[in-house]
């Protein structure tokens, strides 16, 4: 059997190589470290983490906790190494990151079915099955090669300027209403009104809130394409009211009048379970976003499935490029995995590598695909990044908003999430994961 080529030995690439190798499929794993390093790299080891608690919650009432448990049941190398080298961190999965990376590197390099090749890959191999897991800081040469290979997709983004996303069920619809401006077309937006007093208090906090640090490998050019909402606000008290918060053409059904200001939310997925805060691209620290944006009456109890971010990132417009197996629609021998696909986070990257490799193995063995269902966290992520109805695609962490609701009411958010996780694991246990 011809070996599968995996490009990148981060979490996604290592997981993909492992899943293939443990099924007897030979793998050539390319990694540019240590010959070439980026400013984000500090070690020659594989599966490098930024900090010890990057793997987040380990509780099943949290979506990323569910995702980790699903990965364990899929025989994940990354989860096995994380569990082996975990350190005390309450309900989170924290690891000794150096020991964690060393363990991954040793497992990968010692596996008889994996051949590691050091050095930068600057083009997609012309033949054979390939999994590209080159990460959010893909080298310029490989990024250009990807763009040349798939020019029709226009998919490469070199900065990530995303507004926050909230769950529909957490929006206070007693303080908001559905409508489009001037009642034109279908009522596609949720409108969150603010009085002059509410707006003034919000504007004052927005203009003085703390911004996130800019990393050394980012620069001011990252932000040229999209102005953060807090920067717009500092240009004057009325600036937002003539921009993303303008109330023109929107009449509050409770008063019959235009509010002083209106924050609009736009549906972010076909199910209508997640909404985007329109025009709120921001570089504020995450706690500051929750604090300040909660001053909008309809969002006072909002649940954020993704905070706004503005940083250098390379990711695909995956809904136009990839299918649910992370396979390029126009060139099925090529798959992508990891953060370059638009899954956000280390655990999510691992999950994409796991699914891509498991489904490729089934294909090479002439077996039917697994087709992880949307009720599972692994399946929900894959179906999100391949959902062609998503128009303004942005990277996403796993969250329960991507998973179908239970269909019945459960008292308490933690209880509801626990039942969603129980259903997911029951669905996973029905699958043939060999």
Domain locations in the chain?
4-158+313-429, 162-310
pLDDT at 98: 84
Contact 395, 307 (CB under 8 A): no
pLDDT in tens, 139-154: 888 988 988 888 755 5
The secondary element (H helix, E strand) that includes residue 4 is: strand 4-7
- Band the pLDDT of 205: cuts 50, 70, 90: very high
pLDDT above 90 covers a percentage of the chain that reads 66
4-158+313-429: what fold? Answer: FAD/NAD(P)-binding domain (3.50.50)
Say whether domain 162-310 belongs to CATH 2.40.30.
yes
- Give the SS3 label for residue 115: strand
For residue 308, how far is the Cα from the chain centroid? 12
Whether pLDDT at 52 is above 80: no
From the list 374, 382, 373, the residue with the least C-alpha distance to 348 is 382
From the list 288, 299, 267, 306, the residue with the least C-alpha distance to 392 is 267
pLDDT at 143: 85
Token pair of 187 as six digits: 């009522």
pLDDT at 224: 44
pLDDT above 70 covers a percentage of the chain that reads 91
pLDDT in tens, 285-306: 999 999 999 999 999 999 998 8
Give me the torsion for CA of 77, 393, 138, 48, rounded to 10°.
-30
What is the strand order of the sheet 189-194 is part of?
177-179, 189-194, 261-267, 274-277, 165-167, 304-306
What is the strand order of the sheet 334-336 is part of?
114-118, 27-31, 4-7, 130-132, 334-336
Between CA 254 and CA 245 the distance in angstroms is 19
pTM of the entire predicted model: 0.78
Pairing of strands 160-162, 27-31: unpaired
Between CA 223 and CA 162 the distance in angstroms is 11
The arithmetic mean of pLDDT across residues 317-341, rounded, is 95
Whether pLDDT at 212 is above 70: yes
pLDDT at 1: 86
From the list 69, 114, 125, 132, the residue with the least C-alpha distance to 321 is 132
Contact 312, 325 (CB under 8 A): no
Token pair of 231 as six digits: 């920067």
Whether pLDDT at 39 is above 90: no
pLDDT at 429: 97
Contact 339, 135 (CB under 8 A): yes
- Give the SS3 label for residue 83: helix
The secondary element (H helix, E strand) that includes residue 334 is: strand 334-336
Q: Transcribe 229-281 into DSSP letters.
A: HHHHHTT-TTTGGGTTT--TT---TTTSS--SEEEEEEE-STTS-EEEETT--
């Amino acid at each position: 059997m011809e070996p599968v080529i995996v490009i990148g030995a981060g979490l996604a690439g290592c997981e993909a190589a492992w899943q293939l190798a443990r099924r007897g499929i030979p793998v050539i794993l390319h990694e540019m470290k240590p010959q070439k390093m980026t400013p984000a790299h500090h070690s020659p080891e594989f599966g490098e983490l930024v900090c010890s608690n990057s793997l987040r919650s380990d509780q099943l009432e949290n979506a990323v906790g569910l995702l980790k448990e699903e990965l364990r049941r899929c025989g994940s190398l990354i989860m096995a190494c994380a569990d082996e080298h975990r350190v005390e961190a309450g309900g989170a999965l924290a690891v000794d990151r150096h020991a964690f990376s060393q363990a991954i590197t040793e497992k990968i390099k010692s596996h008889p079915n994996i051949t590691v090749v050091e050095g930068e890959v600057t083009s997609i191999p012309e033949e054979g099955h390939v999994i590209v897991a080159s990460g959010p800081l893909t080298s310029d040469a490989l990024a250009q090669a990807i763009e040349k290979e798939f020019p029709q997709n226009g998919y490469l983004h070199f900065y990530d300027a995303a507004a926050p996303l909230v769950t529909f069920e957490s929006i206070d619809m007693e303080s908001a209403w559905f409508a489009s401006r001037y009642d034109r077309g279908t009522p596609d937006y949720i409108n969150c009104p603010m009085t002059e007093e509410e707006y003034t208090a919000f504007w004052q906090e927005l203009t003085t809130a703390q911004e996130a640090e800019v990393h050394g490998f980012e620069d001011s050019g990252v932000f040229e394409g999209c102005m953060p909402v807090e920067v717009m606000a500092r240009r004057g008290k009325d600036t937002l009211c003539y921009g993303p918060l303008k109330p023109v053409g929107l009449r509050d059904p409770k008063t019959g009048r235009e509010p002083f200001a209106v924050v609009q939310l736009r549906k972010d997925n076909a199910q209508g379970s997640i909404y985007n805060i329109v025009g709120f691209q921001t570089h504020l620290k995450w706690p500051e976003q929750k604090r300040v944006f909660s001053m909008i009456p309809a969002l006072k109890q909002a649940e954020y499935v993704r905070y706004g971010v503005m940083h250098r990132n390379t990711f695909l417009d995956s809904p136009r490029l990839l299918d649910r197996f992370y396979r390029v629609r126009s060139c099925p021998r090529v798959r992508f995995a990891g953060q370059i696909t638009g899954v956000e986070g280390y655990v999510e990257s691992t999950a994409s590598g796991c699914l891509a490799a498991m489904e490729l193995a089934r294909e090479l063995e002439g077996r039917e695909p697994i087709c992880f269902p949307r009720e599972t966290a692994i399946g929900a992520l894959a179906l999100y990044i391949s959902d062609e109805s998503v128009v303004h695609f942005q990277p996403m962490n796993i969250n329960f908003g991507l998973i179908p609701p239970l269909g019945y009411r459960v008292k308490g958010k933690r209880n509801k999430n626990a039942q969603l996780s129980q259903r997911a694991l029951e669905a996973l246990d029905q699958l043939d994961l060999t």
